[in-house]
Amino acid sequence: MERRSFSFPHALFLLLLLLIVCELPALVLSSGAGKQFNHSVPALFVFGDSTVDPGNNNNWPTPFKGNFPPYGASFLNQAATGRFSDGKLTTDFIASYLGIKELVPPYMNPSLEQHEMMTGVSFAFAGSGYDPMTAHTSGVVSVPQQLDYMKECVTKMENAVGKAAAAKIMEDSIFIVSAGTNDFVISYHLLPFRKQTFTPQEYQQFILDQLRVFLKGLYELGARRIVFAGLPPLGCLPVVMTTSIVDALIRQCIDSLNMEALIYNSKLQNMLNEIKANELKDARLAYADIYFTLLDAIKNPSKYSFEETKRGCCGTGLLEMSFLCNPGTLTCPDVSSYVFWDAIHPTQKIYSLVANTVIQRVLHLLLQ
């Protein structure tokens, strides 16, 4: 198979800045999301980017939001909550399966109640990443900085139930981290600065070093059950295919970007295994692979009753996302037949498949 390299036409540079809000789901799971798990997990805490942001960007000074129609078209009462999809996210399905609650709320919700905080929240911001430059570009909070809000949350829990009880909640809860796509697609391949400093291999190591520091900070706060999602097939995002000089018309996944994601994912798995074996021996660390699950849906759509894998449901499906996917934008007649909701974010159906895979392949590693 011919290898195609990744390159952006200069005329689309400004438009591609919109990609700051874009990330593919960094979690993938398979069936069983409809059943509840009986094991006692008191809370689900979430960090990352738009794949797991249920609305933190709604209450943050950034233009990149998803709290307006047609976002939420498949949600209860077609509510646009700030989730970058037509409906629920992977973490919503997992929280429901664990019997915690139906939806994971955003920590930045000004009306967040204490009982919601105690059973888990999402600290994720659309447009974020492990690289501080990624979040700075979009004016949001980086994944490492999201730890500051977790610390604040721990203090609130201690004030509510005492230090011992709060520590027990942290020990027994599950923590999910889903990020990285923005770092590679935006900060490295779109913007010029990181390429001037890092080779592709060096940038991968830079991201892994940021992730390692974040993991240890989370551990110091008391977290012991932690899931890190890998990268999706970056070269298969509709907007990336659209803006590639070679692939805009033929609309095929860009092999070089997909290979980059595979290499990073392998390094991430190795690092987690090394940390678990040598440093944080009492922690249960797990890797969630989304790459092959999403790629399977793209390459074998009939297996999942999908019909469209190269465009999003919103508008033309080639470039629309965030404010380009707005109340005046037409959508496809049957979102369940689409892999992508907008030009980069998946549909609720994909998020459900991802959640099911995590449930079957990952959760037992944390709960045994």
Q: Which two tokens stand for residue 314?
A: 């919103």
**Dihedral of CA 175/124/93/89: which sign?**
negative
The residue annotated as part of the active site, out of 49, 50, 131, 142, is 50
Q: Report whether 358 contacts 227 (CB < 8 A).
A: yes
The residue annotated as part of the active site, out of 49, 173, 342, 352, is 342
Q: Which two tokens stand for residue 254?
A: 């860009």
What is the C-alpha separation between 237 and 298, in angstroms, rounded? Answer: 10
Smallest Cα–Cα separation from 49: which of 107, 109, 129, 105? 129
The residue annotated as part of the active site, out of 86, 138, 178, 345, is 345
Smallest Cα–Cα separation from 319: which of 239, 245, 252? 239
Task: Map residue 270 onto helix, strand or coil.
Answer: helix
Residue 342 among the catalytic residues: yes
Residue 345 among the catalytic residues: yes
Residues 6 or more apart whose CB falls under 8 angstroms from that of 361 comprise: 29, 30, 288, 289
Residue 50 among the catalytic residues: yes
Give the angle 89-19-44 at the CA atoms, nearest 5°: 25
Q: Which two tokens stand for residue 51?
A: 């794949």
User: How does DSSP classify residue 229?
Assistant: E
Question: Could you give the residue numbers annotated as active site?
Answer: 50, 342, 345
